[in-house]
């Protein structure tokens, strides 16, 4: 009955046609780890071939004038539409860590003598590592409450990678700004998962990655956002040649480019960067309103099925039950989460991921995940719990984000 119901919902899904826009291995696993690495858009296949064979192989150095040089701004303009920003406020470049370093360092310099950076304990550890190098870092339970007159910037990840709990963008930003601090959002688990409106929030800065819900490809370059009115006040701590006012004048003196462009550093990784475009285009075509609506329905359904089928085995829902407070994954808690994840992957052809110490994380990518995916995943997890199939796995852990 469950599966019949799931298929009915899939048939009524207004985004169902987007599923065909992605490559899926015939007979391959149910993929619920799009919050770590999104699926391959079909169009990226042909694009990658053209990029390598024709653009690199034949156009060679001319590729830079053909379009490579414009990639950071052109893709930034597309990404801007997904996060409620203007085209000239977003760049695609470097990694999330490097971009966070650039913006947090620039914010601390601009906010002198304030030197404090506050983040919370639920942030990506990777963000905390970078932030401790950019100012005097405080890691608090309640970052907003911990901000004070010495705080230059509050840096938070909007959607918690463990539980999918989200900060309300506008309210949090307003409370942070009331302390005189700037707000720097990491949107890595938000962008492409639900509608984000940076302009409405008034936030000063944001960063995020493109290889999760944006389906940009493994290690695809990240993005950065700087509110337009601040761009001319800030300097990148890594003043690279592409952030120069006139990169081809070859002057030895650094002169920052006008606007957001000054936050570029070195030469972009063209193959990785260009291949992200089909993923962005699919989100723009679907519209973030529709993406968010489907994300909520899928996650609500996952939670309802987990309650119904898994609670008798001691599985609890670690993610917020209220859709408005949740991103696009659902984390289920169980003491055997690690071994259950191994069994799902190896015995049941379901790929979620594991987060220590006791979470199984099911990422829901609205463009390609179906209600049937969710139904099957919960059903197979129930089977793993009932048969104790996980007991043959070693409890020693090794996981990849």
Return the number of the residue (84 or 116) whose C-beta is nearest a second copy: 116
Of 272, 287, 333, 347, the residue at the interface with a second copy (CB under 8 A) is: 272
Q: Which two tokens stand for residue 269?
A: 């990784």
Stretch that binds a second copy, among 11-19, 22-30, 197-205, 283-291 (CB under 8 A): 22-30
- Binding positions for a second copy, 205-244, rule CB under 8 A: 209, 211, 217-222, 237-241, 243-244
Burial class (CB in 10 A: 0-12, 13-18, 19+), 189: buried
> Token match 């193959």: residue?
271
- Binding positions for a second copy, 130-149, rule CB under 8 A: 130, 132-133, 139
Cβ(206)–Cβ(198) below 8 Å: yes
Is 212 annotated as catalytic? yes
Q: Please tell me the distance from the alpha carbon of residue 309 to that of residue 303, in angstroms, as a whole number.
A: 10
- Binding positions for a second copy, 330-389, rule CB under 8 A: 351, 353, 355-356
Return the number of the residue (12 or 400) whose C-beta is nearest a second copy: 400
Q: What DSSP designation does 370 have?
A: -
Displacement of CA 356 from its chain's centroid (Å) = 19
Q: Give every CB contact of residue 80 below 8 A, 6+ residues apart in sequence.
A: 86, 87, 89, 90, 225
Is 347 annotated as catalytic? no
Is 186 annotated as catalytic? yes
Stretch that binds a second copy, among 1-9, 83-91, 263-271, 372-380 (CB under 8 A): 263-271
Q: How far is the CA of 24 from the CAs of 21, 30, 41, 49, 245, in angstroms?
A: 9, 9, 9, 18, 44
Nearest by Cα to 351 from 77, 24, 74, 31: 31
- Binding residues with a second copy: total (CB under 8 A): 86
Q: Please tell me the distance from the alpha carbon of residue 401 to that of residue 395, in angstroms, as a whole number.
A: 18
Is 371 annotated as catalytic? no
Minimum Å distance from CB 71 to a second copy? 9
User: Which run of H or of E encompasses 91?
Assistant: strand 90-93
Cβ(13)–Cβ(370) below 8 Å: yes
Return the number of the residue (144 or 265) whose C-beta is nearest a second copy: 265
Q: Establish if 278 lies at the interface with a second copy (CB under 8 A).
A: no
Point out the catalytic residue in the list 13, 186, 353, 373.
186
Of 275, 299, 306, 375, the residue at the interface with a second copy (CB under 8 A) is: 275
Label residue 60 left, alpha or beta by phi (over 0 means left) and psi (-120 to 50 means alpha): left
Per-residue contact flags (x/-) with a second copy for residues 92 to 131, judged by CB under 8 A? --xxxxx--x-------------------x-xxxx-xxx-
Q: Between helices 371-387 and 337-347, what is the axis angle to 10°?
A: 110
The secondary structure of 324-346 as a DSSP string is GGB-SEEEEE-TTHHHHHHHHHH
Q: Establish if 65 lies at the interface with a second copy (CB under 8 A).
A: yes
Stretch that binds a second copy, among 3-11, 20-28, 79-87, 176-184 (CB under 8 A): 20-28
Q: Please tell me the distance from the alpha carbon of residue 384 to that of residue 377, in angstroms, as a whole number.
A: 10
Return the number of the residue (2 or 95) whose C-beta is nearest a second copy: 95
Of 148, 171, 254, 391, the residue at the interface with a second copy (CB under 8 A) is: 254
Q: Between helices 2-11 and 288-310, what is the axis angle to 10°?
A: 180
- Binding positions for a second copy, 282-301, rule CB under 8 A: none
Is 194 annotated as catalytic? no
Point out the catalytic residue in the list 18, 101, 124, 362.
124
Q: Establish if 28 lies at the interface with a second copy (CB under 8 A).
A: yes
Return the number of the residue (137 or 152) whose C-beta is nearest a second copy: 137
Of 16, 43, 69, 372, the residue at the interface with a second copy (CB under 8 A) is: 69
Nearest by Cα to 159 from 117, 191, 125, 127: 191
Per-residue contact flags (x/-) with a second copy for residues 31 to 60, judged by CB under 8 A? x-x--xx-xx---xx--xx-xxx-xxxx-x
Point out the catalytic residue in the list 296, 326, 361, 382.
361
User: Which run of H or of E encompasses 139?
Assistant: strand 136-140
Minimum Å distance from CB 11 to a second copy? 26
Return the number of the residue (53 or 311) whose C-beta is nearest a second copy: 53
Q: Which residues are catalytic?
A: 124, 186, 211-212, 361
């Amino acid at each position: 009955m469950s599966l019949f119901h799931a298929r009915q919902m899939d048939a009524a899904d207004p985004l169902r046609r987007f599923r065909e826009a992605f490559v899926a291995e015939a007979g391959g696993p149910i993929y619920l780890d799009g919050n770590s690495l999104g699926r391959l858009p079909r169009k990226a296949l042909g694009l990658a071939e053209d990029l390598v064979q024709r653009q690199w192989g034949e156009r060679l150095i001319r590729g830079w004038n053909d379009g490579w040089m414009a990639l950071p701004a052109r893709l930034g303009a597309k990404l801007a539409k997904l996060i409620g920003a203007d085209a000239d406020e977003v760049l695609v470049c470097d990694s999330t860590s490097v971009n966070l370093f650039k913006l947090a360092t620039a914010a601390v310099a601009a906010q002198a003598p304030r030197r404090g950076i506050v983040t919370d304990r639920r942030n990506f550890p990777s963000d905390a590592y970078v932030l401790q190098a950019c100012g005097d870092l405080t890691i608090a339970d309640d970052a907003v409450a911990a901000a004070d007159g010495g705080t230059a910037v509050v840096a938070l990840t909007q959607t918690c990678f463990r539980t999918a709990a989200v900060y309300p963008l506008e309210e949090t930003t307003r409370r942070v700004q009331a302390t005189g601090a700037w707000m720097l959002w990491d949107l890595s688990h938000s962008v492409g998962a639900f509608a984000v409106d940076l302009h409405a929030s008034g936030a000063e800065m944001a960063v995020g990655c493109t290889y999760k819900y944006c389906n940009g490809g493994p290690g695809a370059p990240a993005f950065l956002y700087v509110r337009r009115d601040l761009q001319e006040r800030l300097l990148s701590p890594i003043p690279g040649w592409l952030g120069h006012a006139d990169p081809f004048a070859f002057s030895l003196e650094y002169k920052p480019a006008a606007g957001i462009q000054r936050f570029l550093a070195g030469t972009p990784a063209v193959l990785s960067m260009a291949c992200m475009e089909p993923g962005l285009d699919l989100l723009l075509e679907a519209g973030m309103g529709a993406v968010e609506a489907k994300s909520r329905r899928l996650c609500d359904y996952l939670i309802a099925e987990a309650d119904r089928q898994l609670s008798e085995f001691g599985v609890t829902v670690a993610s917020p039950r209220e859709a408005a407070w949740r991103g696009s994954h659902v984390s289920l808690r169980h003491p055997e989460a690690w071994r259950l994840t191994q069994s799902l992957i190896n015995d049941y052809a379901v790929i979620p991921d594991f987060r220590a110490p006791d979470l199984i994380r099911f990422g829901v990518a609205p463009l390609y995940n179906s209600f049937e995916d969710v139904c099957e995943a919960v059903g197979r997890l129930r089977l793993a719990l009932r048969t104790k199939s996980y007991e043959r796995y070693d409890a020693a852990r090794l996981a990849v984000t």
